[in-house]
């Protein structure tokens, strides 16, 4: 596993990172932003990958060196957790040079297992 990427079971809001990524819009309305686009089913996998890439691409512009991501779109929107984890790990590993640390945060033990398995693949 590439250095700089870790997996953690935690409350994402308690982590000491420069930014917490949220998959919705600025108003935090469910079904909007990345999650909403994925939920509508228009090229879900590519939209999810694009969301990770976009977040990681703008991090240096805002002097963000550490980020925490939830398992985007795997909750109530039902995107397959294993596929989402693979996309997350792939996109984050491709952009690790832009940041010092990225944490993929799981809400529950089963989610952590899926994230960790993707990281080991």
Query: What pLDDT score does 10 carry?
Result: 95
Q: pTM score, two decimals?
A: 0.83
Instruction: Report the candidate in 100, 70, 83 with the shortest Cα–Cα distance to residue 5.
Output: 100
How far is it, in rounded angstroms, from Cα 112 to Cα 71?
9
CA torsion sign, 80 to 82 to 83 to 89?
A: positive
Domain 5-120 coded CATH 3.40.220.10: yes
Q: Exposed, middle or buried by CB within 10 Å (0-12, 13-18, 19+), for 108?
A: exposed
What stretch of H or E contains 100?
Answer: none
Query: What pLDDT score does 67 carry?
Result: 96
pLDDT along the chain (121 residues), means of 10: 80 94 64 54 82 92 95 78 94 92 93 94 80
What is the 8-class DSSP label of residue 3?
T
Domain range summary for the chain, segments of one domain joined by +: 5-120
C-beta neighbour count of 89 within 10 angstroms: 24
Query: What pLDDT score does 33 carry?
Result: 53
Asked if residues 93 and 2 have their Cβ atoms less than 8 Å apart, the reply is yes
The residues annotated with a catalytic role in the active site are 35
């Amino acid at each position: 596993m590439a250095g700089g990427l870790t997996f953690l079971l935690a409350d994402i809001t308690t982590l000491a990172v420069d930014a917490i990524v949220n998959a919705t819009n600025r108003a935090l309305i469910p079904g909007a932003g990345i999650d909403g686009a994925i939920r509508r089913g228009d090229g879900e996998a590519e939209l999810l990958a694009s969301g990770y890439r976009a977040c990681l691409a703008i991090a240096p512009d805002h002097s963000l060196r550490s980020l925490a991501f939830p398992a985007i779109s795997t909750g109530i929107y039902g995107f397959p957790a294993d596929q989402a984890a693979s996309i997350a790990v792939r996109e984050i590993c491709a952009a690790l040079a832009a940041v010092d640390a990225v944490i993929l945060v799981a809400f529950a033990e089963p989610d952590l297992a899926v994230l960790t398995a993707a990281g080991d693949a």
